[in-house]
Structure 1
Amino acid sequence: MRYRAVYWICFPVLAMLLFNLKYRFTGFLNGLTDAGYGLSFLLIQFLFLWIYFSVKNRRMINLTNDYLGLGDILFLIVITFYLSPGNYVLFYIGSLILVLIYAILQKYSLEKKSNKHIPLAGLQAMLLALLMITDHLFNAFTLYSDSWIYILMS
């Protein structure tokens, strides 16, 4: 907790556990297909981020040096193995907005901290845990399927 770090072994274990959950609900092929869509979306996002910051700095940059932590990237990769493509995009955008609001409130709070880093993966993990618990208790939506999104849109 003090170093805001996670052992690397936790990410593949979490990916396997989340994929096992999804596999039980949707099947192996559908789980892999959805993960492929999520990974493609994430790859495109990172490509655009890399291009933006490289152009802004007028040199090639490494996203993990100053902009994103490796844990943030690994967490975003891991959750593609559970969330459906639509839910992944909604979670990605929604969690980034909530983390941004948190960061703004933290910056302007009375308690001035010297740490400029935002615990993105940690906050996203807490949000995902809350969503998974809510989904399990109330069956309000299914995180592993986009069916609730289609029903809501029709």
Structure 2
Amino acid sequence: MLVLSGVILIVLGIIAYQDFRYREVYWICFPLLAILFSIYKITTVGLSALLTDIIFTGGFLLLQFLILWLYFCIKYRKTVNLTNGYLGWGDILFLLAICFYLSPVNYIVFYVVSLVVSIVYALFTRLLSEKEELTIPLAGIQALIFALILIVERSARLNFYGDTSAYYNWLLH
């Protein structure tokens, strides 16, 4: 598991570097990350838990994209393509990749916290930069936060890849 965690951290580092440096990431990093997360999660909690969590986290993500799309459609009074200037494919693929690791509750917490950190980053960058157009390396910021989460999880022996069964019982009833 230590080697697998190390490879995951390397891939997260590559994503962060490429996104901060070039504002684009090699697409192969995202399916590789999803595969590595799947291997880790299957060996720790099993295939059933992986599939259940993917359904919940993927559904949440789909709902977020739908709400974001509706917001921009209403704002501009026309149909918009979210990947044309609003959200990069790397950002979408990264959020999909971490569906293969985090439990639903931890996914939502990660999602909210990483967006808040991204907003703070954007505000500081706007203050310090003279550029008119500001782009945010969302996947890079989220990759750094996720790397920190993995390090803390391993160091403190925490579990961010599973929720308690009480949560699922509450959610399903």
TM-score, L = length of structure 2: 0.80
For structure 2, the 5+ residue unaligned runs are 1-17, 168-173
Alpha-carbon distance between aligned partners in 1 of 2:133 and 2:160, rounded to the nearest angstrom: 33
1:17 corresponds to 2:17: no
In structure 1, which of residues 72, 83, 94 is the aligned counterpart of residue 102 of structure 2? 83
Distance apart, 1:105 and its partner CA = 1.3
Q: Which moved more, 1:27-36 or 1:112-121?
A: 112-121
CA RMSD of aligned residues (A): 1.6
Residue identity over aligned pairs, in percent, reads: 49
Alpha-carbon distance between aligned partners in 2 of 1:48 and 1:113, rounded to the nearest angstrom: 29
In structure 1, which of residues 135, 139, 150 is the aligned counterpart of residue 153 of structure 2? 135
For structure 1, the 5+ residue unaligned runs are none
SS in 2 for 1:66: coil
Distance apart, 1:98 and its partner CA = 1.0
How many residues are paired up?
Answer: 147
TM-score, L = length of structure 1: 0.90
In structure 1, which of residues 129, 135, 146 is the aligned counterpart of residue 163 of structure 2? 146
| Structure 1 ranges of 4+ moved more than 4 A | none
1:31-86 residue CA offsets vs partner (Å, 9 max, x unmatched): 11101100000000000100110010010000000110000000000000000000
Higher relative contact order (CA 8 A, sep 6+): 2
In structure 1, the residue matched to 2:117 is 98
